[in-house]
Amino acid sequence: MTSPEFSPTGISFEKIDKRFGGLFALRRVSLAIQPGQCVALAGRNGSGKTTLLRIAARLVRPSAGQVSFLDKSGSESQARPVVGYVAHATMVYDELTAEENLVLFGKLEGLKDPRARASVLLEEVGLGDRRTSLVRTFSRGMRQRMAIARALLNEPSVLFFDEPATGLDPQGVNWFADRLRHLRDTGRTILMSLHGESEISALATRAIRLDAGSVIADTSAGATLRSILTFGEAR
Amino acid sequence: MSIGPNTLALLGKELQTEFRSRELLTTTGVFILMVLVLFSFTFDPTSSESRRFGPGLLWLAFLFASSLMLQPCFLREQTNDTLSSLRLAVSDPFSIFLAKLGANTLFLLFTELVMLPIFSVLYSVHVLPQIHYLLLVLFLGSLGISITGTALSAISAQARMRELLLPVLLLPLLTPILVASTEVTVGLLAPEPFMEWKGIGVLAIFDLVFLTAVWLFGEYLLEE
């Protein structure tokens, strides 16, 4: 279902600081994420994962430093890339139906046939038979599926997932892992925050650990990658 | 996608959700009705008294009711962080503001038009002979209230004490609208009606200045 037409996009974070009042959420974070990398962000609650994702998606302005999107050659991309973002909140309207939500966002993103795209996505996330139901009648897992469908609407080249498995049942996690594998294998750049090891974290090609707003570990090696993801989780 | 189609799509969503829930229209309508009815009981207005006090009372009721209506405008977007998904989806964030502004103006105008005949009956004033001019002042006044109120709603939605902040910021800023709209309405409801064009000018300039300011700084209003 995913069209191959997208521009591979990387992300560069240069000396990012983010302060909320006197509190540093991020401190001098510098990272370069290559086009097509699937990066897992690990860290305890409050370590700065969500803030980093929101800064990357340009939803929050950093207090200092710069975020830029990079093209395949590694130079700064002039065009605004298509970004998909799944946050803690579902980012869809409770008072609209599943289909109305996706059609609205499809129109805003300039899709040629938002209704057809919405229909395909709703079938894929397993909500085809609930397309005319108001989102407020959905369970937490169904809302999460809606959030994922909304993020995938416009064939994004960059995807940010903030704990994407939240609320999903085991079948949902399997489905999402398959979908994520497909996105990774078709060259999408993925940055996702996760807790511990899972079917989803196994798909990461790189892991970064944050602690108190700073990067304390960053690796692409298999065994180290797993240890970074699980470090301190039992504490 | 350009600003026009984005604004229309979002305006459609605003109207659809409101006509499904009817929360804002009901609250605002009931509030204005209560103010008009209660004041008509507190002083038994003769026709000449109504012409003197009625317009000011009417616009005060619209003003207070608008602060009720505008409060949830951006607060609703925080429930599921839908403002973030809108900001990611639209090419120009001003379209989000324009759609909210359009919807608020329409809701306010609709409520005002429903309340106008009730005001006419309760206060024994004839509104029909000057209805075309009344519509002009209602439109410009409502537009000014909505521009300022929508911008302040975006600011106050992210602040602490947000329920108090909007009226505290909004009402002083809307003083020129209140004064100009009341003056024009007094003229239109006078025994020998006349049009106070100076007041219309003030309303038009107010709307233009605030809309330009929001267009220039609107992006920052929607940021976290």
- When the pLDDT of each residue in chain B is averaged and rounded to a whole number, the result is 90
Is the predicted pLDDT of residue B16 greater than 80, yes or no?
yes
Asked if A170 has any chain B CB less than 8 Å from its own CB, the reply is no
Q: How confident is the model at residue A206 (pLDDT cuts 50, 70, 90)?
A: very high
Is the predicted pLDDT of residue A80 greater than 80, yes or no?
no
Q: Which residue of B has its CA nearest to A95?
A: B17
Same domain for A97 and A144?
A: yes
Percent of chain B predicted with pLDDT > 90 = 56
Tally of CB atoms within 10 A around B40: 19
CATH (domain of A150): 1.20.1580.10
Q: How confident is the model at residue B223 (pLDDT cuts 50, 70, 90)?
A: confident
Domain-ending residue, one of A119, A154, A189: A154
Residue A87 in any domain: the answer is no
CB contact under 8 A, B86 and A61: no
**What's residue A235's pLDDT?**
45
CB B140 within 8 A of CB B204: yes
Asked if A166 has any chain B CB less than 8 Å from its own CB, the reply is no
Distance CA A7, CA B126 (A): 65
**What's residue B203's pLDDT?**
96
Q: Which residue of A has its CA nearest to B81?
A: A91
CB contact under 8 A, A107 and B86: no
The values of phi and psi at residue A209, to 5°, are: -110, 130
Give Cα B217 to chain centroid, integer Å: 21
Chain A residues within an 8 Å CB radius of B1: 107-110
CB contact under 8 A, B1 and A108: yes
Domain-ending residue, one of A154, A182, A202: A154
Same domain for A52 and A11?
A: yes
Structure tokens at B210: 């605030």
Distance CA A133, CA A102 (A): 13
Please compute Rg for chain A using Cα positions.
Answer: 17
- Nearest residue to B117 via CA among B223, B32, B209, B218: B32
Distance from CA of B83 to the nearest CA of A (A): 8
**What's residue A1's pLDDT?**
45
Same domain for A74 and A181?
A: yes
Q: Among the residues of chain B, which ranges form H helices?
A: 3-21, 23-42, 47-70, 72-79, 82-89, 94-122, 131-156, 162-173, 175-189, 197-221
Residue A88 in any domain: the answer is no
The pLDDT of A60-72, averaged and rounded, is 89
Task: Scan for tokens 């505008």, then name that residue.
Answer: B70
Most confident of B47-51, B126-130, B207-211: B207-211
Same domain for A97 and A117?
A: yes
Same domain for A77 and A162?
A: yes
| Residue B80: C-alpha distances to residues A86, A162, B183 (Å) | 12, 14, 43
Is the predicted pLDDT of residue B218 greater than 90, yes or no?
no
Same domain for A166 and A129?
A: no
Same domain for A48 and A108?
A: no
Burial of A218-227, coded b for 16+ CB within 10 Å and e otherwise, reads eeeeeeebbe
Chain A residues within an 8 Å CB radius of B10: 104, 108
Tally of CB atoms within 10 A around A163: 19
**Dihedral-angle region of residue A187 (phi above 0 means left; psi in -120 to 50 means alpha; beta otherwise):** left
**What's residue A2's pLDDT?**
44
**What's residue A7's pLDDT?**
74
Q: Give residue-wise pLDDT tens across range B73-127.
A: 888 898 899 999 999 999 888 999 999 999 999 999 999 999 999 999 888 888 8
Residue A102 in any domain: the answer is yes
Laid out side by side, the sheet with A64-70 consists of A23-33, A10-20, A64-70
CB contact under 8 A, B88 and A59: yes
Asked if B6 has any chain A CB less than 8 Å from its own CB, the reply is yes
At position B188, the amino acid (one-letter code) is: L
Q: How confident is the model at residue A5 (pLDDT cuts 50, 70, 90)?
A: low
Same domain for A147 and A170?
A: no
Cβ-nearest to A89 among B5, B81, B86 = B81
Is the predicted pLDDT of residue A3 greater than 60, yes or no?
no
Range of the domain at A107: 93-154
CATH (domain of A59): 3.40.50.300
Q: Tell how strand A189-193 and strand A10-20 pair up.
A: unpaired
Same domain for A77 and A130?
A: no
Chain B residues within an 8 Å CB radius of A60: 223-224
Q: Give residue-wise pLDDT tens across range A17-56.
A: 999 988 999 999 999 999 889 999 999 888 999 999 999 9
ipTM confidence score: 0.88
Q: How confident is the model at residue B129 (pLDDT cuts 50, 70, 90)?
A: confident
Asked if A57 has any chain B CB less than 8 Å from its own CB, the reply is yes
What's the whole-model pTM score? 0.88
The pLDDT of B133-139, averaged and rounded, is 95
- Nearest residue to A69 via CA among A159, A154, A148: A159
Q: How confident is the model at residue B1 (pLDDT cuts 50, 70, 90)?
A: low
Same domain for A121 and A194?
A: no
Same domain for A72 and A180?
A: yes
Lowest-pLDDT range, A74-78, A171-175, B164-168, B204-208? Answer: A74-78
Laid out side by side, the sheet with A38-42 consists of A83-86, A158-162, A189-193, A38-42, A206-211, A214-219
Cβ-nearest to A90 among B16, B21, B80 = B80
Lowest-pLDDT range, A63-67, A97-101, B20-24? Answer: B20-24
Give Cα A174 to chain centroid, integer Å: 17
Distance CA B33, CA B13 (A): 27
Which run of H or of E encompasses A172? helix A170-185
Same domain for A66 and A106?
A: no
User: How many separate domains does chain A show?
Assistant: 2
Domain-ending residue, one of A154, A172, A189: A154
Residue A15 in any domain: the answer is yes
Chain A residues within an 8 Å CB radius of B6: 107-108
Residue A205 in any domain: the answer is yes
CB contact under 8 A, B13 and A93: yes
| Residue A9: C-alpha distances to residues A12, A176, A213 (Å) | 10, 22, 25
